Amino acid sequence: MICLATYQPRPYQTECCAALAQARANGIKKGLVEMASGLGKTLTANFDVQQFLQDSPNARVLYLCHQESILLQSKQKFQKTFGEEYSYGMFTGNYKTSHAVTFLFATLQSMRDHREEYGVDAFDYVIVDEAHHTAAETYQPTADYFKPQFLLGLTATKDRMDGQDILDTYGKIIYRMDIYDGWEQGWLARVDYRIMLDDLKQEEFEKYVGPHATDEKVSLAQLNKTIFAPQRDEDIVKSIREQTSDLEEPRIFIFCPSVEHANAMAHQFVGEAAVIHSGQSIGLNEAILSNFRSGDIRIIISVNMLNEGIDVPEADVVVFLRATESSTIFFQQLGRGLRISGEKRTVRVLDYVANIERISTILEMEETAKKRITASPTYSPSANKPSPLVINIPTTKFKVERVDIECLLSNIKKRRRWTKEEVVAGLIAMYESGQKITSKTIDQNPNLPWSDTIINMFGGSLNNAFREAGIPPNQRDKVNIDRDTMISEGRNMVANGEKITYRTVRKNLRLPHPATVAREFGSITEYASICGQVMVTKDLSRNGMLRAYWAESKKAEHWLSLNEVDKNKILTYAEKYRQKFGGAQELISLAKNTYGPILSPEETLAQQAKKFQETQFRLAQEFYEASQAKGRWLTQHEFKSQNKVSSLSRYRRYFNGGIKKIIEFTRQYIGDLDEEICSQQQTQFKTDAQLIKEYWLKSKEAGHWLSGYEVGHNSDLANDVTYYNRFGGMKNTRNLAISLFGDFTETN
């Protein structure tokens, strides 16, 4: 007996399950369910499996996904639903359940290498979560191998960045509910979307908007580079605090472009934030997510994670600090905040990397929402319901309004309005010239619009554009060159010191897809050998690979990343390491436990000290050159406006102090500036008494004791960080001011 009292299906989930049941009754053996992020795809599959097991109580279910973290979450939901009378297992890089179970949760990567250990009919019901990944060459064979009674694909979007169509695998969409349906029916949080444009270059912007705008044709990539400038981390953190100050204990998701940037941002939040990324262990990432759900951590900074499948409805603020190449990824990341939970019905989005394409996507989303939802009683004016999507540009240091942005987009469209005929001609030209045709290469082609534009132009799919251009199926990603030319290009790679691997062949725009190369030569390894790459005889046993990795890491004096493994001519391919050991962290941990650390404790400390010293000297040189160009030593306020120096917080970390310490170090080890200039500037450094008096005077002028935030935004005062460093916080500053000059707030 199945008990589903834990979860109650929503009306649309009941509709979806009815559609799936009807499809099976009609003899259909596969299908796709497309639901926007936040609507509960996993639970919908859960409810459908209940129906399936009622008819086939002895059936076995295989749940496939590309991420172990998503599988663990799905497994917990199934266990909570179906109870312990059923058996459950995991088949991933870290877990290998070998006995038969009712529900097996497996990564596509692990099952790819072990699928033949199972019969093609070993499972009666197969679910592929995040099914848009299925078309990847590493995943497709697994989906094709099993022949269940029913194959279900789950995805928030069927579109892939490479244009491949997953409906070749799943047949047709049996049920669809997009973000606009979710808003219309009230199942998704409304969005307060704020485009943060403090980084806009006003003079450049006015070249394209306003009375003096030119008719110059310019590519979108060049336009983004011209009018948008990156902001400093300190400025962004202050802005995030300001934009969320009206929220009570906000839970914030931040998407960052790199681990280094994420760690730097976490440092700026001073203990309030935790970083998650794929390089960390699953256990650590899960612990951070658990602390976020419980409220122990309020801010999570993510690198290439949380795009998909993670259920954290508590998040009520989403911050974009990374640009995305695809609207697909944009909607996935936006979806992290769309789940409704408890009192939460709104998510605030702060977009600090809005470029022309992003802004266009946002405004198109708003326009679509108006068209799709205006007539809906759920959001009718008479019901006093708020709009599901509100776009605004908060006050910036530039006079930029939404009308200016819309005017810019309008001007760009007028200057370059693409027709279908132009797009088709451009795609054919790419194909005939032997170029790979992917979203990335299209975006790099100045003779074509952006890939997202083509997708919208041809009904939501690059495949439609390929068909209209007459490009044969599975040919768009291939280069039409002969065997001899492939060998010639491979020899050029070897001559340039580049290791031929699946990844480097894929990146080489002058070579076909690696699968094409492998078919032509038997394997990538054989191709590399023919091209003259010296193939070292390798021990490909698990122990041999681990020992070789440890030895090469010891030689390099640091644990090699998987990218470095691929470039290393002694080691086998990184893909084989992934297959046998999982990710880099698991590999490092096993190598360390088996063969010991690659450096002694003394060597490790020495190496860390050396790296610290190298960074100090590099920063000091950077500071000296920027000061020299300025004609005097930079002040702390000038760090924000300098693009050629690192953030002030980074300097503080490496010099254990403020401007004085930085200048002392730079003078001693790099050089001094002109003596007269330096002596004049030295008078600019204020004593503690001066700082206290200035704070007291400005507070008295304001009629209240200024907060740290007010100090930081008062151009007549030193930075709030200076007050914290000198006096230990604003409370101590206030007490010192009272003891020296009296309390002006006391009534006589």
Tens of pLDDT, residue by residue over 136-178, are 666 778 888 889 999 999 888 766 544 456 777 888 899 999 8
| pLDDT of 92 above 80 | yes
C-alpha 361/C-alpha 331 separation (Å) is: 10
What secondary structure letter does DSSP report for 736?
Answer: H
Residue 55 lies in a domain: yes
Question: What pTM was computed for the model?
Answer: 0.53
Residue 399 lies in a domain: yes
Asked which of 666, 682, 698 is the last residue of a domain, the reply is 682
| 306 & 203 share domain | yes
| pLDDT of 76 above 80 | yes
- Tell me the sheet residues that pair with 558: none
CA distances from 494 to 460, 529, 719 (A): 41, 10, 54
88-91 and 103-107 as β-strands: parallel, antiparallel, unpaired? parallel
What is the Cα gyration radius of the chain? 29
Q: What is the mean pLDDT of the chain?
A: 78
Each residue's pLDDT tens digit, 573-598: 777 787 788 777 788 888 888 888 88
Residue 447 lies in a domain: yes
pLDDT of residue 280: 74
Of 300, 252, 251, 311, nearest in space to 277 by CA? 300
CA distances from 713 to 270, 274, 658, 708 (A): 20, 27, 19, 9
Angle, helices 720-727 vs 730-741, to 10°: value is: 80
The residue to which tokens 């460093």 are assigned? 725
Report the number of distinct structural domains present in the chain: 7
| pLDDT of 124 above 90 | yes
pLDDT of residue 19: 94
Angle, helices 688-702 vs 730-741, to 10°: value is: 90
pLDDT of residue 377: 46
**8 Å CB contact between 244 and 319:** no
Of 124, 154, 140, 138, nearest in space to 53 by CA? 124
Each residue's pLDDT tens digit, 452-505: 778 778 877 777 888 888 887 555 555 667 788 889 889 988 888 788 887 788
Residue 1 lies in a domain: no
**8 Å CB contact between 379 and 410:** no
| 75 & 133 share domain | yes
C-alpha 203/C-alpha 114 separation (Å) is: 59
The 10 Å Cβ neighbour count of residue 546 is 19
Residue 122 lies in a domain: yes
pLDDT of residue 161: 47
- Average pLDDT score over residue span 365-379: 68
**8 Å CB contact between 478 and 516:** yes
| pLDDT of 671 above 70 | yes
| 317 & 354 share domain | yes
Asked which of 177, 198, 228 is the last residue of a domain, the reply is 177
**8 Å CB contact between 650 and 640:** no
C-alpha 312/C-alpha 292 separation (Å) is: 8
Q: Which residue has the higher pLDDT, 123 or 559?
A: 123
Of 161, 139, 350, nearest in space to 242 by CA? 350
Residue 23 lies in a domain: yes
CA distances from 329 to 323, 335, 359, 461, 557 (A): 10, 10, 15, 15, 37
| pLDDT of 547 above 50 | yes
pLDDT of residue 446: 64
Each residue's pLDDT tens digit, 304-356: 765 554 667 788 899 888 765 556 677 778 887 888 877 778 889 888 876 66
Of 222, 230, 184, nearest in space to 11 by CA? 184
The 10 Å Cβ neighbour count of residue 629 is 10
Asked which of 383, 413, 443 is the last residue of a domain, the reply is 413
C-alpha 510/C-alpha 486 separation (Å) is: 8
**8 Å CB contact between 513 and 506:** yes
| pLDDT of 23 above 60 | yes
| 127 & 16 share domain | yes
**How close are the terminal C-alpha atoms of the chain, in Å?**
79
Q: How many helices (H) and strands (E) does the chain have?
A: 35, 14
**In Å, how far from its chain's centre is CA 109?**
21
C-alpha 708/C-alpha 720 separation (Å) is: 6
pLDDT band at 243 (very low <50, low <70, confident <90, very high): confident
pLDDT of residue 158: 65
| pLDDT of 380 above 50 | no
Q: Which residue has the higher pLDDT, 365 or 443?
A: 365
**8 Å CB contact between 352 and 470:** no
| 31 & 53 share domain | yes
Report the SS3 class of residue 619: helix
Question: Which residues lie below 8 Å from residue 283, measured CB to CB, with a gap of 6+?
Answer: none
pLDDT band at 212 (very low <50, low <70, confident <90, very high): low
| pLDDT of 359 above 80 | no
The 10 Å Cβ neighbour count of residue 615 is 14
pLDDT of residue 716: 77
Of 277, 310, 286, 281, nearest in space to 129 by CA? 310
Share of the chain above pLDDT 70, in %: 79
pLDDT of residue 231: 60
Can you read off the two tokens belonging to residue 656? 């254990």
Range among 33-47, 216-230, 380-394, 708-722 with highest mean pLDDT value: 33-47
pLDDT of residue 685: 58
| pLDDT of 127 above 90 | yes
Each residue's pLDDT tens digit, 259-311: 888 888 888 887 788 888 877 777 777 788 888 888 888 999 988 765 554 66
Structural domain boundaries, residue 563: 542-595
Edge-first strand order for the sheet with 103-107 is 88-91, 103-107, 61-65, 125-128, 150-155, 30-35, 173-177
Residue 425 lies in a domain: yes
| 285 & 379 share domain | yes
Pick left, alpha or beta for residue 481 (phi over 0 → left; psi -120 to 50 → alpha; otherwise beta): beta
The 10 Å Cβ neighbour count of residue 580 is 18
pLDDT of residue 666: 85
- Average pLDDT score over residue span 728-747: 83
| 321 & 430 share domain | no
Question: Which residues lie below 8 Å from residue 356, measured CB to CB, with a gap of 6+?
Answer: 220, 223, 224, 408, 409, 412
CA distances from 193 to 252, 315, 365, 369, 391 (A): 14, 15, 11, 13, 5
Instruction: Work out the burial of residue 343: count CB atoms within 10 Å of its CB; fewer than 13 is exposed, 13-18 middle, 19 or more buried.
Output: exposed
3-state DSSP of 267-332:
HHCCCCEEEEECCCCHHHHHHHHHHHHHCCCCEEEEECCCCCCCCCCCCCEEEECCCCCCHHHHHH
| 370 & 443 share domain | no
Residue 3 lies in a domain: no
Share of the chain above pLDDT 90, in %: 9
The residue to which tokens 């010191």 are assigned? 497
| 148 & 90 share domain | yes
Range among 105-114, 274-283, 391-400, 670-679 with highest mean pLDDT value: 105-114
Q: Which residue has the higher pLDDT, 423 or 307?
A: 423
- Average pLDDT score over residue span 543-562: 86
| 40 & 172 share domain | yes
C-alpha 538/C-alpha 544 separation (Å) is: 8
| pLDDT of 67 above 50 | yes
CA distances from 361 to 223, 325, 326, 354, 365 (A): 16, 12, 10, 10, 6
| 568 & 659 share domain | no
Lowest pLDDT segment from 157-161, 273-277, 367-371, 635-639? 157-161
**In Å, how far from its chain's centre is CA 376?**
34
pLDDT of residue 18: 94
Edge-first strand order for the sheet with 389-392 is 273-277, 299-303, 252-255, 317-320, 346-351, 190-195, 389-392
| pLDDT of 650 above 70 | yes
- Average pLDDT score over residue span 84-97: 84
**8 Å CB contact between 660 and 685:** yes
| 164 & 193 share domain | no
Report the SS3 class of residue 176: strand
Lowest pLDDT segment from 299-303, 606-610, 615-619? 606-610
- Residue 107: enclosing H or E segment and its boundaries? strand 103-107
The 10 Å Cβ neighbour count of residue 8 is 10
Question: Which residues lie below 8 Å from residue 506, measured CB to CB, with a gap of 6+?
Answer: 513, 514
pLDDT of residue 220: 54
pLDDT of residue 97: 82
pLDDT band at 3 (very low <50, low <70, confident <90, very high): very low
389-392 and 346-351 as β-strands: parallel, antiparallel, unpaired? unpaired
pLDDT of residue 21: 93
CATH value at residue 21? 3.40.50.300
pLDDT of residue 393: 74
C-alpha 62/C-alpha 75 separation (Å) is: 11
- Average pLDDT score over residue span 99-123: 87
| pLDDT of 52 above 90 | yes
